[in-house]
């Protein structure tokens, strides 16, 4: 009886085991926009089309300076969480990303996949095309929905 209980317990606890180790990594080159992951995923500033490009540049700067990790939104819609850019050991946020916020770049680096997430360690920013996504034409330089409604 005790053996059956241990076997049943092992089956029940198996989903709680540690996740599989990260993959070894694959060298990739990817082109996309450096984004603010908090606003992109939370929806706090609007949908995905409102939190990119020139309309979101200032907010992306504040979030990066505040420690929010940046991402790279690839042309195919894939989001890569950027762990490091070039030789900046502390670049999960900060000055390196401040200079690249909302810019479209082509990055060369190592892709690591774990638990359905894509992580990118950028070895080199091959090209920096500056801000090419001019969303301010649709949303203004600060989207109006980013201000609280005083009537609520």
Domain-located, residue 18: no
Domain-located, residue 9: no
How many domains does the chain divide into?
1
Q: Cβ of 132: how many Cβ atoms within 10 Å? A: 11
Domain-located, residue 53: yes
Domain-located, residue 4: no
Domain-located, residue 110: yes
Per residue of the chain (152 residues), give pLDDT as tens.
Answer: 555 544 443 444 444 444 455 458 999 999 999 998 998 999 888 888 888 988 888 888 888 888 888 899 999 999 999 988 887 665 655 555 788 889 999 999 999 999 999 999 999 999 999 988 887 777 665 656 556 667 76
pLDDT at residue 12 in the model: 45
Domain-located, residue 12: no
What pTM was estimated for this model as a whole? 0.73
Give the structural domain span for 111: 32-134
Strand residues in the chain grouped as ranges (E): 26-36, 70-74, 79-85, 104-114, 117-128
pLDDT at residue 92 in the model: 53
Domain-located, residue 13: no
Domain-located, residue 3: no
């Amino acid at each position: 009886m005790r053996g059956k209980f241990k076997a049943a317990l092992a089956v029940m606890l198996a989903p709680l085991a540690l996740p599989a180790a990260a993959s070894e990594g694959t060298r990739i080159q990817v082109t996309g926009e450096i984004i603010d992951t908090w606003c992109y995923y939370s929806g706090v500033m609007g949908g995905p089309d409102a939190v990119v490009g020139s309309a979101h540049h200032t907010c992306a700067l504040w979030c990066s300076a505040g420690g929010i990790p940046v991402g790279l939104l690839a042309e195919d819609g894939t989001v890569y969480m950027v762990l490091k850019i070039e030789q900046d050991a502390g670049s999960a946020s900060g000055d390196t990303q401040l200079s690249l916020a909302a810019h479209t770049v082509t990055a060369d680096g190592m892709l690591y996949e774990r638990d359905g997430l894509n992580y990118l360690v950028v070895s080199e920013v091959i090209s920096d095309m500056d801000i090419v996504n001019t969303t301010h034409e649709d949303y203004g330089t600060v989207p109006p929905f980013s201000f609280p409604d005083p009537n609520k």
